[in-house]
Amino acid sequence: MCEETRQHNSDQNIKRIGIVGFMHESNTFATTKTTRRHFEDAFFHVGEALVPAWEDAHHELGGFLEGCNTYGLEAHPVLAAWATPGGTVTDEAYESIVAELLDALKAAGPLDGLLLALHGAMVSESFDDADGETLERVRALLGPDVPIVLSLDMHGNVSPRMAAIPEVLVAYRSYPHVDQRARGVDCARIMGDILSGAVKPCQAHVKLPLLIHIVQQYTGDAPMADLYKELERIEAQPEVVSVSLLPGYIYADSPFMGVSVLVTVDGDEARAGELATAFGDYVYDRRNDLNAGLPSVDEAVQEAMATEGTVCLMDSGDNIGGGGPGDSTILFAALRAAGATGVCVVLCDPAAARMCADGGVGTRIFLPVGAKTDKEHGEPVTLSGVVQHVSDGHFVEEHPRHGGTRDYDQGYTAVVRTDDGNTVVLNSLRVMPTSLEQLLSLGIDPSDLEHIIVKGVTAPRAAYDLVAARTICVDTPGVTRAGPDAFVYAKRPVPLFPLDG
Ligand SMILES: [Zn+2]
């Protein structure tokens, strides 16, 4: 959209900017729905409470607050809700949170602009692009003259309304996502430029018939690093306000799957379209490099057993950051069957965690754990061992890590040292394995371990690369299996490379 004139409050006033976040990555293949409770168990802050929770976080909400400060804007915290990636959001959760968001937005009084953090792959029972629906309702409340600068996770599946409603859409550009705060600051800078009249954003969106394998989405290396270099080259042109490339999310079956490219140019819609098309072609031409094959469980176990030092085995089928249940036992059982020792795995099993935590340190246990969410992530494994440590599950990550979370809560947690020389962490809230503090806070030094089963693919690498002599991403079964060919989609667009050739 491109507007020649825009009415604002008088220029001598400091501009009042609403700060809103409502974020969820919804795996439509997961068997457990996401409820309001999942948001409340993770992050749910209304009004000023948003500030202490997020201002120091390496997250775009922290970036919004910092950027408002830097660019002379007055931040008005409205609401922030975030839940760990999981199944489709229930209508009840979606409608109640959006209603609360809109009420809080109304109560904030007249705003000059809105900095809005959505994920881009939220699916509710009624809306395949729940984020597009949220945008539409927010726009209806604010009216056409209040600019919205939207930040999205690069795993967003951008729908037409998600691109059309905000003046500018800014996506993360690193995976693991360690640039979230910087993107939030970018959003505030762009908002300042819009409100001062320095730029008149014209945004173009190009959707590619392409899926990028999750392993190849790692931005620390080619091919993705090359794509983001090209993005920066385009963005360096003086008329360009912002460029985003979103690889998208393959675990939300929706008509909006696929890679998105967005280019925003100052005052020139045609130029925005031209640049977006050219960048889209550049990405699509590299499609053969954007696929991957992974070792099977047996191959990965063999490789891990033959490697010196700490090996991180990425459990791609139970990727918590993609909506996995966090209780798959498949890799752990395979390593145990191969006689591995020095293995560490975190399993989300609230009942077992509670039993061990209640027993306390030194309690001897004989207990089946894990694989209780559904039938797709192995069978429960029986632990024989001793409870070594118990915790309330709180830990803090000070460094920039994927997801930008600072204060983590994995619920009551117990560490079991098994008789066969392995370590099992039983927690009661699903937490993405994006911080080494998850283990360190429990008295476990990851660099002492032989094999760490990490329930993620690329996101954990910002933390686990620090201790891994080798990282092996494993083709494990599950609701987040690495390749799109493992899923039956009902709603996806056709064609999509590589599924349709
Ligand atoms: Zn993401």
Q: How far is the CA of 342 from the centre of ligand 1 (A)?
A: 30
Q: How far is the CA of 405 from the centre of ligand 1 (A)?
A: 13
pLDDT at residue 484 is higher than 90: no
Retrieve residue 143's tokens. Answer: 């009216």
> pLDDT-based confidence at 10, cuts 50/70/90?
very low
| Under 8 Å between Cβ of 461 and 403 | no
Query: Which H or E run contains 81?
Result: strand 74-82
Query: What are the tens digits of pLDDT across the range 443-477?
Result: 999 999 999 999 999 999 999 999 999 999 999 99
Q: Which of 431, 429, 460 has the alpha carbon at shortest distance from 446? A: 460
Which parts of 419-484 are beta strand (E)?
423-427, 451-454, 470-474
What type of residue is 315?
A: D
Q: How far is the CA of 297 from the centre of ligand 1 (A)?
A: 25
Q: What is the pLDDT of residue 63?
A: 98
> Taking CA 48 as the corner, what is the angle to CA 42 and CA 50, rounded to the nearest 5 degrees?
25
What is the phi/psi pair of residue 53, to 5°?
Answer: -70, -30
Residue 418 Rama label (left phi>0; alpha psi -120 to 50; beta): beta
Query: What are the tens digits of pLDDT across the range 21-59?
Result: 999 999 999 999 999 999 999 999 999 999 999 999 999
Retrieve residue 230's tokens. Answer: 């090209």
Query: What are the tens digits of pLDDT across the range 387-424?
Result: 999 999 999 999 999 888 899 999 999 999 999 999 99
180-196 and 60-70 helices, crossing angle to 10°:
40
Q: For the beta carbon of residue 5, count every other beta carbon within 10 angstroms.
A: 7
Q: How far is the CA of 221 from the centre of ligand 1 (A)?
A: 17
Q: What is the pLDDT of residue 403?
A: 87
Query: What are the tens digits of pLDDT across the range 233-251?
Result: 999 999 999 999 999 999 9
Q: How far is the CA of 140 from the centre of ligand 1 (A)?
A: 28
Q: How far is the CA of 180 from the centre of ligand 1 (A)?
A: 10
Q: What is the pLDDT of residue 12?
A: 56
pLDDT at residue 310 is higher than 60: yes
pLDDT at residue 322 is higher than 60: yes
- How large is the average pLDDT for residues 325-352? 98
Q: How far is the CA of 363 from the centre of ligand 1 (A)?
A: 39
Q: What is the pLDDT of residue 6?
A: 37
Q: Which residues surround ligand 1, an ion (CB under 5 A)?
A: 153, 155
Q: How far is the CA of 154 from the centre of ligand 1 (A)?
A: 6
Q: How far is the CA of 470 from the centre of ligand 1 (A)?
A: 23
Beta strand 240-246 with 168-171 is: unpaired
Q: How far is the CA of 328 from the centre of ligand 1 (A)?
A: 21
| Under 8 Å between Cβ of 266 and 193 | no
pLDDT at residue 494 is higher than 90: yes
Q: How far is the CA of 343 from the centre of ligand 1 (A)?
A: 27
Q: How far is the CA of 145 from the centre of ligand 1 (A)?
A: 30
- How large is the average pLDDT for residues 184-204? 98
Task: Give, in order, the Cα–Cα distances in Å from 336 to each of 307, 330, 372, 421, 477.
Answer: 16, 10, 19, 10, 18
pLDDT at residue 102 is higher than 50: yes
Residue 110 Cα to chain centre, angstroms: 31
3-state secondary structure at position 99:
helix
Q: How far is the CA of 329 from the centre of ligand 1 (A)?
A: 24
Q: How far is the CA of 322 from the centre of ligand 1 (A)?
A: 8
**Is the whole model's pTM more than 0.85, yes or no?**
yes
Q: Which of 338, 373, 359, 367 has the alpha carbon at shortest distance from 451? A: 338
Average pLDDT score over the chain: 95
Q: How far is the CA of 433 from the centre of ligand 1 (A)?
A: 13
Q: What is the pLDDT of residue 1?
A: 45
pLDDT at residue 8 is higher than 80: no
Q: How far is the CA of 247 from the centre of ligand 1 (A)?
A: 9
Q: What is the pLDDT of residue 30?
A: 93
Q: How far is the CA of 366 from the centre of ligand 1 (A)?
A: 38
> pLDDT-based confidence at 5, cuts 50/70/90?
very low
Residue 327 Rama label (left phi>0; alpha psi -120 to 50; beta): alpha
Query: What are the tens digits of pLDDT across the range 215-228?
Result: 999 999 999 999 99
Residues near 154 by beta carbon (within 8 Å), at least 6 away in sequence: 171, 172, 173, 175, 177, 244, 245, 246, 247
pLDDT at residue 356 is higher than 90: yes
- How large is the average pLDDT for residues 180-188? 98
Query: What are the tens digits of pLDDT across the range 277-300?
Result: 999 999 999 999 998 889 999 999
Distance CA 467, CA 469 (A): 7
297-305 and 330-337 helices, crossing angle to 10°:
50
Q: How far is the CA of 122 from the centre of ligand 1 (A)?
A: 12
Beta bridge partners of 243: 263
pLDDT at residue 7 is higher than 70: no
Task: Give, in order, the Cα–Cα distances in Å from 188 to each of 13, 184, 332, 375, 400.
Answer: 17, 7, 45, 45, 20
Q: What is the DSSP letter of 375?
A: S
Distance CA 377, CA 317 (A): 8
Q: How far is the CA of 267 from the centre of ligand 1 (A)?
A: 30
- How large is the average pLDDT for residues 55-84? 97
| Under 8 Å between Cβ of 30 and 479 | yes
Query: What are the tens digits of pLDDT across the range 114-165?
Result: 999 999 999 999 999 999 999 999 999 999 999 999 999 999 999 999 999 9
pLDDT at residue 479 is higher than 80: yes
Q: How far is the CA of 85 from the centre of ligand 1 (A)?
A: 9
Distance CA 333, CA 351 (A): 20
Residues near 5 by beta carbon (within 8 Å), at least 6 away in sequence: none
Report whether the peptide linkage leading into residue 477 is cis, meaning its omega lies within 30 degrees of zero: no
pLDDT at residue 187 is higher than 80: yes
Q: How far is the CA of 177 from the centre of ligand 1 (A)?
A: 7
Q: How far is the CA of 153 from the centre of ligand 1 (A)?
A: 5
Q: What is the dihedral of CA 437, 440, 442, 443, to 10 degrees?
A: -170
Q: How far is the CA of 155 from the centre of ligand 1 (A)?
A: 5
- How large is the average pLDDT for residues 89-111? 97
Residues near 229 by beta carbon (within 8 Å), at least 6 away in sequence: none
pLDDT at residue 4 is higher than 50: no
